[in-house]
Structure 1
Amino acid sequence: MSAVHAAPWREPDDARRWPAAAALALVVEAALIGGVLWYARHAPEPPPPPPMQIVLEAPRPAPKTVAPPAPKPIPKPIPKPMPKPQPKPLPKPVMHHVAPRPVVPPPLPTPKVVAPPAPVPDTHPAMPVAAPAPPAPPPPPAPPAVDLASIKADFEAQLRSAIQAAVHYPTAARLMHLTGKTLVAFTYRDGQISGVRVVTSGGSDLLDNAAMDAVRRAPYPATPTPLQGRSMTFDIWVRFHLNDS
């Protein structure tokens, strides 16, 4: 018996329905793709991330080092005052009143009477008596004491006059109407001058130099005898006046 293969059943419109369905699927797919592309172009931009806040903390101050309190000094114990030893009262001496014994004076010796010896006659011849010596003459009066201070003061006045007479007024100082006085010190010994120097300036070198020149060339008087051989220092003012010749 031969097998009979029955043909599959197909609806009469399947051949026309499949192309239409495929075309619709393509249209839907194209629309989806187009919508995705349009959304991708026109989608709103995501909001920016919130700003980050950076908080800078100030460095904490280092903890203060507190020095430990100094130990209080331990007060020294106050020594208790020692009681002053009280002196023991001395026993009062017992006075015994003794009646004084009467003093009996010794008996006075009886003086013996001695007879003076008889004078012996002088058998030697009498010696002549010498005449008294004349009194010595009185010593001569002592010479009066020498007053060196007075002699030196008088001699200093003579030196001052000699120096002032030897002053030569500088012409330049006279033209500039320079006046004044210079204190000059020097050492004098038997008419020799040394160590001439200005102690107090007269305000100008011209006057000071003229004063020292006058001291060096002045004709000095003779040295008094008590002052001879002595080194003496004098301070003498040398004056400059326009009226002096």
Structure 2
Amino acid sequence: MTTLSGKKALVLGGSRGIGAAVVERLQADGADTRFTYAGSEAAAHALAEKTGAAAIRADSADRGQTIATVEAAGPLDILVINAGVGLLGDPLEHEPDAIDRMLDVNVRSPYHAIVTAARTMNRGGRIVVIGSVNGDRMPFAGGAGYAMTKSALQGMARGFARDFGAREITVNVVQPGPVDTDMNPAEGPMKDLMHSFMAIKRHAKPAEIAGMVAYLVGPEAAMVTGAMHTIDGGFGA
């Protein structure tokens, strides 16, 4: 498949899990892809060697690094924002700096990345942010801060869809439920609890999330914008 041939793509947070699957899919579909990583240097280099995508070290918690990375990669046809931090537990015990870092990575970084990319993005560009079903539903205690950051992405996408629609740039959020990654392994300690909420009682595969992203950045999704695309096995049903 070469549906993205000639397209220039950047994935923020692409070295592992969902991000790595997205990088692999974009490259397979013909896009010239770059991706960022922060701490997973070995995984990033291995992915770059495997796919031919270019790895860029950049911390999404740092606004300056985020803006500089997007500027250097542009003009873009595709921006996928996957970098994210999950902080769960008793909110009375969380360190304020940890909450602020989650806000930096999950909310502020996507905002500044999207605005920076949109300044030079080609007409008909595609912007996709990886959110979470927890933006719609938080069925257990300890997730208020995380859910807040994912709900924020919804309003952001709806607003940006209006802002950039005249240039036919689409902005969408993909909202996974449990996905088998290092952060949330299929056989992890929360497996039984999460599966108890689901109609399809298994973790999704990263490649399944990447498939939805591939549709949204492809030519058939030109009229899909300002929308939340949930892929959660019925977690939020």
User: Could you say which structure has the greater relative contact order, defined with CA pairs below 8 angstroms and 6 or more residues apart?
Assistant: 2
Structure with more of its chain in helix, by fraction:
2
Larger radius of gyration: 1
- Fold shared per TM-score above 0.5: no
